[in-house]
Structure formats: structure tokens, C-alpha cells
A and B are shown apart, each in its own frame.
Chain A
């Protein structure tokens, strides 16, 4: 049983179909990327998972079944928009949110102290939340989401407003939680973060799932029949290459259908070319995103 199993869910608001027949699952010990352009239906999907909205159709199983009050204590959630009490002290705010996740007040205070230390926020513990910078509030929001050591963590744009140092800190934290066996669902627009962190992804566009699977599989599916080569000397004409294009000091060779990359490699080596790089051309996630979303999700 996976921590999250979403099966053919759909949800409409008025005449707008926000989510349309979306299915996926998230596994323990993985970071699952929930991607899509603005208004694609990511946040609605998250809210359905969290039982904030009921789906019009389909089913959601979280931590082994329907959402219950007890399960809410085992889930961490960080919404895209910061949701902290603005007019109370940071430490008090986090302690309260910790107690709502089932921690005793003493335990919540202890953990808040540790997390503030780790995120370099100790000096701001008595400051009102609204007096903190956006980055600090973002870190506080992350603390609120993870301090009770959730089995399932859902984070919406976790790197927004973070500087590179704090971004790295949050990435390390997410890997740490994954290694401890938590399932993490991350919604973001930052494709390079997805490439770096996620094991599997779901791309939603206009409410529908348009890409789903392991990150490598998805990239391989969208790779063209081509190789990227960087050589010390000039490249000779190679049989089976139908066209080529140069980008900086690399050359992309587009292959004929009946030619394999191994055939090209063999031919290049046979021609005495000294290779610095030879790889199957795989598009970046950014490119795949633009290509898929640009096509309207076909």
C-alpha cells in the first residue's frame, strides 16, 4: 500500500474543470514531483489529497485509506502561500502548530528550539512572524511542516524566496526525510530542482495528467533519436547521421531510424576521432515541460 494513491479524481468549480481524471501514487522513500503550469490543477489536486476538497469523482487513499483526523498528525503540509499567524511570536506560532499535529506542548517547544537552531532562526524566536523576511517566513513554514516528523510531506513551492544557502539546506532536509522513509510530494515550477531531487513526476496540464513516471524514463521517452558529441578533432561524415547541429563546442547528431548510437560510436572511433563526450541526447525537464505544455498537453 502506497502512502498516497490517487485514482481517477476529478473536480469542477462551476463550469471550470480543475482536475480531470488524474491518477498517480507516491511511494515511501521517494520525492515525487507534481508539476504543471499555473492553473493546471496542482493545488486542487493537493487539496483533494488533504481532504480539504472532496473530489466530484475518483478516489484518494492516504496512508492506507480515507483521510482521518488521526492521519492529519502524520502528514506535513506547506502551502504555496505562507499560512502562519502573522501577529504572534515565531516560537509561539510554531509551538501551537506543532501541538495541532499531536505533539505535547513541551515536546513541541523542544523541537521548535532545535529546528530554529538548525535553520538559524533562534535570534528571531520572539519576533512577530510579520516582522520576519520572506525567506525567514518560508523557513518557518518548512519547520511547521516537518517538526512532527511526518510520514507524508506535501510541499508547494518549497524554494520560493530562499537564497542559495537556504535552498541547499532545504534540499538536504528533503533528502534526509526521504532517506528516513517519508514520502514527499513536491509541487514546483523550478525544473532544475525537480531534476535534482525527484525520483518520479506527474505533469498536469489543464487538469489532466500528461506525463507520469520515473524522471529518467520520462526524459528518455522524450529524447529524440540523437547523440551529443564533443571531440578534440573535427568530426567526419558518419553514415546514418541525417543532420547535425552545433551548440558551443558540442555537436548534436540526429540519426536515421535504423541506426543506433552504438553504430555511430563505432564509426567515430573507427575514424580515429578523439572523443571527450558521447551521450544519448536527453532533453532537460524544462524542454520537456515547454514541449508538452506548449502542445496543449497532447
Chain B
């Protein structure tokens, strides 16, 4: 096994068995379980599937049209008179009943009788039933659209049909922005790890031992590869937990939001094109930071500043939602430090032309190359500079031959 892989494996093991990592890993499923649990409880408390009764004196529901199909219907039960309905209510057979007076068609007024206020799922299904009956004499398509009383049937679709956005977005529609958020969080974790590792090893002189056993290229490469493994472990674990939570939530709430996770492969490719060089760029910048600062604490503080640009697109969320192809949104997509989250956001709310994603990826790759060069230089200049910073002027001074060549 080459030394690069040995260092990578060592870094991976060293971080994955740390309490900090395990807590970070478990925090997401615990949070998700908590959210799903609380939501399930809230939903359970807000639902009542006992029948809803009605007494029709108007004759409008003499031959009722059945209510629209739902995943879990509430029976709409007809009663001949109020006395019968009242008995059923008091016996707990129904949660409420409506009385349609003789002049209902003119007055549009109904009386609702209950012991405890009926739940929303029941009232909404009753009114859907009423709308269906009001529109019974209309053509079916018109009746269906009017009964829905919303733009539910309006779906915005890309010309190639690969992407669409309905009035009620699903989890699949929001996945790009969720991926961008997860990417930002992973950058925060990974950056923190890397900058801490480099600055600690510099401070406690471990680096001096390592660099006399392996080349600078092997050391930096091994650390970054090990860290990518750590991050992938974290990302995959989170993905599995999130998918499980979505599946559970989808079944539990019968929610289309969680059940539809279809993602356009073009968007996935676009995000991969941008995320990969961005990760390398940020990792290299963190390495450079860890090697140049005097103390690990200082490194941690400065590391936060590097992650900050990724938050800018969130501050400008309104711009991205209203005009995902505005000059500002495009500029943020092309600027390397804000590019990954901006592209993810635009891909959520609009269509990002592939050429723009390509330019962003090329710019990021160029910056990643520059950052790796800078990291290598900072590493070699600063790795044995105990308790001292490496100045920017020194970092960018004309390169002199430095030790610890790049044998990989």
C-alpha cells in the first residue's frame, strides 16, 4: 500500500472513531426522528376519521355525488333528521353533523353541530363532497378543477419534460437546494477537521516525523483523501437516514411531498460538476490555513470565514426564487466561493443553462488548482514554523525551491 493510502486510512480511522464524529453522525437521524415523531404526533392529534353526518332539508343532496377520492377518506353519512344525527353524535359514532336548511341554495348557510370541534381532515372532506355536488352538472374536467379550488393541476414543466414544478413542491423538487445546504454543512465539518488536523500536527511536531517518512504530496494527498472518506461516510449516512425518514414520513402522513423524490439526472450531473472541484478548493484552502496560522484555535476561527460566502446565496433567497436567472444570481453562480450553493439554488427554482454550470465548474477547477498549489506552498513554508504565522507576502513571494517534493 502506498504511503498516501496509508496516511489516508490512518486519517479516516482516526476521525471516524472520534466521539465528535459519531455525535455529528447521529445528530441528523436523531433530529430527523424527532421531527418525524413530533409531526406524526401533531398530525395524529389533528386527525379524526370518524364519519361526518349531514341532514339535508334543501334536497340538493337527494342523489349525492360521491366525494373525491382521498388516501384516507372520512365517511360522509346522511341522516333523515336532526334527532337521528344527534343520537349518533352523542353516541360518538360521528364527530359532527351539518344541517342544510331548506333555503340552503339561496342562503348558502349551514348549521354545524358538534360536541368537540371537528378536525380539519373531516371538514375539508365534507366541503370537497359539497363542492363535488355543487358542480355535478358541469363537465367532469371543469368540475374536477373547480372542486380542487386551487392550482393543483397546474404543473410547470421544462420543454424536455425532465423537470417539473407543481404548486405543491415535492421533496424531489427541493432536493437540489437540500443538497446545497448539505454540501455547505459538510464543508463546515470537513473544513473544521482539516484545519484542526494540520494546525495540531504542526503545533505538536507530529508533522516533522511524518514529513521525514513521506513526501509533502503524499502527506497532503493522504489527508485530503482520508477526509473525503470521512465526509462521504457522513454524507452517505445522512442520505440513508434522510431517505429512511422520508419513506417513513411518506407512509405515515400519506404525503405526496415525501413520496415523490424523482430528481433530474441532468441536475445531479450539474451539481456533481460544481461540488467536486469546490470541495477540493475548500479542502486545499483549509490545508493552507492550517499550515499558516500559529495556533489551532486561531485556525478554527478563521476557518469560519471561508465558509461564510456559502451563506450569501441564502441571504439572497428572494432573488433566487423570483429571478433565478437574474444577473446577480448568475454572477453568484460563477463566483467560485458562492458557486456551489448558488447553482444548487438556481437549479431548484429555475433552469440553469448547462454552459453556465460548465463555466462555473471550470472556474472552480482553476481555483482548486490554485488552492492546491497554495496549500502545498503554505504547507512547506509553515509546517515547521512553530508558533508563527506565514505572511501572505511570503506565501505569494516568488517560489524558491522548497523541500519535501511532491512524490506521490
Does A72 belong to the interface (CB within 8 Å)? Answer: yes
Could you say which residues of chain B place their CB within 8 Å of the CB of A212? none
Does A289 belong to the interface (CB within 8 Å)? Answer: no
Q: Which of B52-60, B149-157, B203-211, B229-237 contacts A (4 or more CB under 8 A)?
A: B203-211
Within 8 A of A (CB), among B4-46: 6-7, 10, 14
A97 lies within 8 A of B213 (CB): yes
B403 lies within 8 A of A83 (CB): no
The answer to whether A69 and B215 touch (CB under 8 A), given A51-B403, A88-B14, A100-B6, is: yes
The answer to whether A79 and B209 touch (CB under 8 A), given A52-B384, A100-B3, A100-B214, is: yes
Does A126 belong to the interface (CB within 8 Å)? Answer: no
B205 lies within 8 A of A82 (CB): yes
Q: How far is the CA of A87 from the CA of B18 in the complex (A)?
A: 10
Does B402 belong to the interface (CB within 8 Å)? Answer: yes
Could you say which residues of chain A place their CB within 8 Å of the CB of B407? 69
Q: How far is the CA of A50 from the CA of B212 in the complex (A)?
A: 7
Could you say which residues of chain A place their CB within 8 Å of the CB of B159? none
Q: How far is the CB of B4 from chain A (nearest CB, A)?
A: 11
Within 8 A of A (CB), among B176-215: 204-215
Could you say which residues of chain B place their CB within 8 Å of the CB of A79? 205, 208-209
Could you say which residues of chain B place their CB within 8 Å of the CB of A51? 403-404
Does B401 belong to the interface (CB within 8 Å)? Answer: yes
Q: How far is the CA of A81 from the CA of B207 in the complex (A)?
A: 11
Could you say which residues of chain A place their CB within 8 Å of the CB of B1? 99
Does A24 belong to the interface (CB within 8 Å)? Answer: no
Could you say which residues of chain B place their CB within 8 Å of the CB of A96? 6, 10
Q: How far is the CA of A53 from the CA of B209 in the complex (A)?
A: 14
Does A201 belong to the interface (CB within 8 Å)? Answer: no
Does A77 belong to the interface (CB within 8 Å)? Answer: yes
Least CB separation from A73: chain B residue: B213
The answer to whether A83 and B204 touch (CB under 8 A), given A47-B384, A51-B403, is: yes
Does A282 belong to the interface (CB within 8 Å)? Answer: no
Q: How many B residues face the partner with a CB closer than 8 A? A: 26
B214 lies within 8 A of A83 (CB): no
Could you say which residues of chain A place their CB within 8 Å of the CB of B218? 69
Q: Select which of A53, A83, A97 is within 8 A of B207 by beta carbon.
A: A83
Does A85 belong to the interface (CB within 8 Å)? Answer: yes
Q: How far is the CB of B216 from chain A (nearest CB, A)?
A: 10
Could you say which residues of chain A place their CB within 8 Å of the CB of B204? 81-83, 86
Does A101 belong to the interface (CB within 8 Å)? Answer: yes
Q: Mask for A39-77, Cβ within 8 A of B = 1, else 0?
A: 000000001001111100000000000000100110101
Could you say which residues of chain B place their CB within 8 Å of the CB of A87? 14
Does A144 belong to the interface (CB within 8 Å)? Answer: yes
Within 8 A of B (CB), among A78-125: 79, 81-88, 96-97, 99-101
Q: How far is the CA of A121 from the CA of B391 in the complex (A)?
A: 42
A144 lies within 8 A of B209 (CB): yes
The answer to whether A100 and B210 touch (CB under 8 A), given A79-B205, A83-B205, A85-B14, is: yes
Q: How far is the CB of A250 from chain B (nearest CB, A)?
A: 45
The answer to whether A99 and B208 touch (CB under 8 A), given A51-B404, A72-B214, A85-B14, is: no
Q: How far is the CB of A252 from chain B (nearest CB, A)?
A: 45
Taking each of B3, B209, B400, B407, which has the highest tally of chain A beta carbons within 10 Å of its own beta carbon?
B209
Q: How far is the CB of A78 from chain B (nearest CB, A)?
A: 9
Least CB separation from B209: chain A residue: A83
Q: How far is the CB of B193 from chain A (nearest CB, A)?
A: 13
Q: Mask for B291-323, Cβ within 8 A of A = 1, else 0?
A: 000000000000000000000000000000000
A69 lies within 8 A of B214 (CB): yes
Q: How far is the CA of A87 from the CA of B10 in the complex (A)?
A: 13
Taking each of B208, B214, B384, which has the highest tally of chain A beta carbons within 10 Å of its own beta carbon?
B208
B401 lies within 8 A of A52 (CB): no
Within 8 A of B (CB), among A8-63: 47, 50-54
B209 lies within 8 A of A97 (CB): yes
Taking each of A77, A82, A85, A144, which has the highest tally of chain B beta carbons within 10 Å of its own beta carbon?
A85
Q: How far is the CA of A50 from the CA of B207 in the complex (A)?
A: 13
Q: How far is the CB of B309 from chain A (nearest CB, A)?
A: 31
Could you say which residues of chain B place their CB within 8 Å of the CB of A75? 212
Q: How far is the CA of A87 from the CA of B296 in the complex (A)?
A: 15
Within 8 A of A (CB), among B346-400: 384, 400
Q: How far is the CA of A50 from the CA of B210 in the complex (A)?
A: 12
Q: How far is the CB of A55 from chain B (nearest CB, A)?
A: 10
The answer to whether A100 and B213 touch (CB under 8 A), given A54-B401, A88-B14, is: yes
Q: How far is the CA of A52 from the CA of B205 in the complex (A)?
A: 13
Q: How far is the CB of B393 from chain A (nearest CB, A)?
A: 12
Q: How far is the CA of A73 from the CA of B212 in the complex (A)?
A: 9
Q: How far is the CB of A85 from chain B (nearest CB, A)?
A: 6
Could you say which residues of chain B place their CB within 8 Å of the CB of A82? 204-205
Q: How far is the CA of A77 from the CA of B1 in the complex (A)?
A: 22
B205 lies within 8 A of A101 (CB): no
Could you say which residues of chain B place their CB within 8 Å of the CB of A72? 212-214
Could you say which residues of chain B place their CB within 8 Å of the CB of A53? 403
Taking each of B7, B211, B212, B402, which has the highest tally of chain A beta carbons within 10 Å of its own beta carbon?
B212
Could you say which residues of chain A place their CB within 8 Å of the CB of B384? 47, 52
A54 lies within 8 A of B402 (CB): yes
B212 lies within 8 A of A77 (CB): yes
Q: How far is the CA of A84 from the CA of B211 in the complex (A)?
A: 13
Q: How far is the CA of A139 from the CA of B407 in the complex (A)?
A: 31
B404 lies within 8 A of A81 (CB): no
Q: How far is the CB of B286 from chain A (nearest CB, A)?
A: 19
Could you say which residues of chain A place their CB within 8 Å of the CB of B209? 77, 79, 83-84, 97, 144
Q: Mask for A183-222, Cβ within 8 A of B = 1, else 0?
A: 0000000000000000000000000000000000000000
Q: How far is the CA of A99 from the CA of B7 in the complex (A)?
A: 10
Could you say which residues of chain B place their CB within 8 Å of the CB of A99? 1, 6
Least CB separation from A99: chain B residue: B6
Q: Identify the A interface with B (CB < 8 A).
A: 47, 50-54, 69, 72-73, 75, 77, 79, 81-88, 96-97, 99-101, 144
Q: Pull 12 A–B residue pairs with CB atoms less than 8 Å apart, ordered by A.
A: A50-B212, A53-B403, A54-B403, A69-B215, A72-B214, A77-B209, A79-B209, A83-B204, A83-B207, A83-B208, A97-B209, A100-B3
Q: Which A-B residue pairs are the 8 nearest by beta carbons?
A: A83-B209, A100-B213, A83-B205, A81-B205, A77-B212, A69-B407, A83-B206, A79-B208
Given contacts A69-B407, A79-B209, 6 further A-B contacts (CB under 8 A): A51-B403, A69-B214, A81-B204, A82-B204, A84-B209, A99-B1
